[in-house]
Amino acid sequence: MDAYDFWTKSGCADSGTYPLATLALRPGNEANANVLKMLFKTGTPVDEQLAVADRVLAGVQRWRDGIAEAAQTERTAVDELAAAREEIAQLKAERDGGEGE
């Protein structure tokens, strides 16, 4: 089964504690928002639950790290563009009137 939804600023992940170690992903906090609830079958050994949780955590961490890398790249590009514009303005000012020294 594939299910798709769009995350909003109010999206969240909630969890329950062992022995009902549930994970609920809610892309938005609106009353009609979809919720994906994950849980283990009764009797699933705690070590198996931990192994699954570790895999989920690793996947979410990779997802987060990719977003963080893109955000840093975007911030760097914006900063470099601002610095280039500042330098251009300074060079124009020097050319036009000897200002900026």
pLDDT, tens digit, for every residue of 23-55?
Answer: 999 999 888 889 999 999 999 999 999 999 999
Span 54-81, mean pLDDT?
A: 94
Which pLDDT score, from 0 to 100, does residue 3 have? 79
What number of other Cβ atoms are within 10 A of residue 26's Cβ? 19
Predicted pLDDT of residue 45? 95
pLDDT at 98: 67
Contact present, 60 and 42 (Cβ < 8 Å): no
Its pTM stands at: 0.69
CA atoms of 49 and 45, how far apart (whole Å): 6
Max intra-chain CA distance, the chain: 81
Helix (H/G/I), strand (E/B), else coil: 65 = helix
Q: What is the pLDDT of residue 4?
A: 85
